[in-house]
Amino acid sequence: MFPFLQVVVIVLAAVVALLAVVAALRDEQPGWSLVGTLAAVELALLVQLVIGLVQVAGTDRDLSTATFLAYLIGVVLVPPIAFVWAAAEQTRWGTAVLAVGGVTVIVLVLRLEQIWAG
């Protein structure tokens, strides 16, 4: 994969999780900084998706392609689903969903690397 991009995604997702936990503890709705960081995570994940698809198409590695593609596509869906859920739930738990989404992105990106490494 692309290690620098993975680090960027993990750091941004960790920032989302941290900001969301703080907002949830304060019983606040997600602010623009949290939503902007979530959008940056999504943008980085879309770049990762394109790079991953190109790398899978050009590799001859012994790779579980279906599993890799499922993780690659699935991780892109997490931020929008978390955002919609948080927007629909107007309590602190809606904001907490963004924290869970951030942690989920981190776990899925780390798993993607494990699958790629074999």
- Segment 69-117, tens digit of pLDDT: 999 999 999 999 999 999 998 888 989 999 999 999 999 999 999 998 8
Per-domain residue ranges of the chain: 3-117
Percentage of residues of the chain with pLDDT beyond 70: 99
What does pTM read for this prediction? Answer: 0.93
Residue 32: partners with Cβ closer than 8 Å, 6 or more residues away: none
* 63 pLDDT tier (thresholds 50, 70, 90): confident
